Structure 1
Amino acid sequence: MPDAVIKNEKQYQALLEIGYSKEKAARIANMPDQVENGGNAKPYEEWTKEELYQQARKTGVEGRSYMNKNNLIKSLQTNQNT
């Protein structure tokens, strides 16, 4: 299996240093909003439920289809895969 490409290496390394697993750090560092907006994406509270759901899908949040908007926000902010 080829090595994964990390889109934001600086962020990836910072996340590893604070204790994130390689998988979780890579997932966060490769999130489109982080790369495209330079980390200046609008707050999750301003996103629609559909936008939150799609972001949760991209980041692999389990149980997302059963979550309301507030639960999606909380899960994405804490980056938990519940």
Structure 2
Amino acid sequence: MPKENRPTIKNDAAYEAMRREGYGKAKAASIANAQANDATDPSRKGGKAPPYEEWTKDQLYERARELDIDGRSELSKSELIEALRSK
């Protein structure tokens, strides 16, 4: 994407690498900008929650409900995990 058509990206190389890996535009921009900011450390694990694979399907469904993910009642556990990660 031409630089003039997108919001300010502070680390273009990281942004482009993440886009090639399949990250969404907003997520790639957020991570690239965090990497460029000396006050943050985006590689360090921040939360204390276990990975989604350790959650029950009911827990995943409730989190999907909180995030208002459409079609959540028809999704399998692995689909819920994918939807939550892409949100």
TM-score when normalising by structure 2:
0.48
Aligned-residue RMSD, C-alpha: 2.2
| TM superposition outliers: structure 1 runs of 4+ over 4 Å | none
Gap regions ≥5 residues in structure 2: 1-25, 31-45
**Structure ID, larger Rg:** 2
Query: What SS does structure 2 have at the residue aligned with 1:61?
Result: coil
- CA deviations 1:16-61 (Å, max 9, x no partner) are 9x26xxxxxxxxxxxxxxxxxx622100000000000000000110
In the alignment, the residues of structure 2 paired with residue 51 and residue 76 of structure 1 have an alpha-carbon distance, to the nearest angstrom, of 12
What is the aligned residue count?
A: 47
TM-score when normalising by structure 1:
0.50
Gap regions ≥5 residues in structure 1: 1-14, 20-37
How far has the Cα of 1:67 moved from its partner? 0.3
Q: Tell me the residue number matched to 2:61.
A: 53
Q: Tell me the residue number matched to 2:42.
A: none
